[in-house]
Amino acid sequence: MDKLNELIHNRAVSRRNFLAGAGTATAAAFITGCGDSSTIAGPVLSTGVTDFDILNFALNLEYLEAEFYLRAATGSGLATADIGSSPGTVTGGAKVPNLTAAQQQILNEIAFDEQSHVQFLRKALGSSAVSRPNIDLANSFPTLATAAGITGVTFNPFNDFDSFLVGAFVFEDVGVTAYHGAAPLISASGITSGYLTAAAGILAVEAYHAAYVRTALTGRAIAAAAASPATAYPYLGFANKISALRASVGGGNETTLNVPTSISTPSAIVAADTMNAIAFSRSTDQVLHIVYGTGGAAGVAKGGFFPNGLNGTITVTAA
């Protein structure tokens, strides 16, 4: 970790799967063409991908999460100092209205964490950090909802707290599985330099966020049923539809949200395998399929939440 801290202070580092039916009209509207591809220095892995490619891949995802949470909490996004010299634009996003004091505090906390992750990775990468890509928080959510089979509503996570939880659910499990999947890609020298330790620390915080979102959705479903058994809490169902959609394009690795019943059944709130309760992981390619909404297509380099693609080197789906 000492080496990583040195890199952060000296700015000395060089740089570097949602839609089930790709053939449907909905998927076609969500999927588009090609993106940026730049080269950086750094410890090179056997795949040709460097440690700094991995860090910049993570930075793209943190930009997305930070913009989502900051806008939900405050109505504004990342500061100019945190988005790079040639940032893309962010479409959509607004402060969630009618929050309780506790809900506002939760949004503030997660927004602060995601903003801090962006700042941490940008400092670690120094001048090699990629700028914020174009991010779509307006059109991507309703398109995703339609593809997932959420009908009868125009889904907008910035409308109210329950909708916000479903929107957060879209991202948080992906973040946890992405960091878990990236860990084995870090080189031996990267491990010595502290990259694995730092990534594990970020993963832990993302897992706290995911646990809150999953528990809140389940708890609010339980409370709604207790208040009036005839009253449906549709948001839990919305989240599970999105989970099924992520599974179809992102390698499976999902845990359906259900009201827990006993200690003899697999977890229904924590996203983990049913045998050993170990968190799932996803490859960078599977993550790209999810955030682009590729439906399993190869050679896609933009779409979904990133209408012009990610910035950096890991930008194109393989299969």
CA atoms within 13 A on the CB side of 205: 16
State the amino acid at position 20 in one-letter form.
Answer: A
State the amino acid at position 55 in one-letter form.
Answer: L
Identify any residues that bridge with 303 across adjacent strands, giving them in sequence order.
Answer: 31, 306
Farthest CA pair distance, the chain: 60
- Split at pLDDT 50, 70, 90, the class of 275 is low
Asked if 43 and 190 count as a contact pair (C-beta separation under 8 A), the reply is yes
State the amino acid at position 183 in one-letter form.
Answer: A
Give the residue carrying structure tokens 């893309």: 88
Asked if 31 and 300 count as a contact pair (C-beta separation under 8 A), the reply is yes
**Residue 14 pLDDT:** 32
Strands 135-136 and 302-303: unpaired
Query: Which range, of 19-28, 169-178, 237-246, 259-268, averages the lowest pLDDT?
Result: 19-28
Give the residue carrying structure tokens 């229904």: 268
pLDDT above 50: residue 37: no
Within 119-219, strands assigned E span 135-136
Q: Is 306 helix (H, G, I), strand (E, B) or coil?
A: strand
- Split at pLDDT 50, 70, 90, the class of 117 is very high
Give the residue carrying structure tokens 């109210």: 160
Cβ–Cβ contacts within 10 Å for residue 42, how many? 22
In the DSSP assignment, the letter for residue 239 is H
Identify any residues that bridge with 91 across adjacent strands, giving them in sequence order.
Answer: 136
- Radius of gyration for the alpha carbons in the chain, expressed in angstroms and rounded: 19
pLDDT above 50: residue 11: no
**Residue 168 pLDDT:** 96
Question: Which comes out higher in pLDDT, residue 286 or 106?
Answer: 106
State the amino acid at position 129 in one-letter form.
Answer: A
Asked if 167 and 141 count as a contact pair (C-beta separation under 8 A), the reply is yes
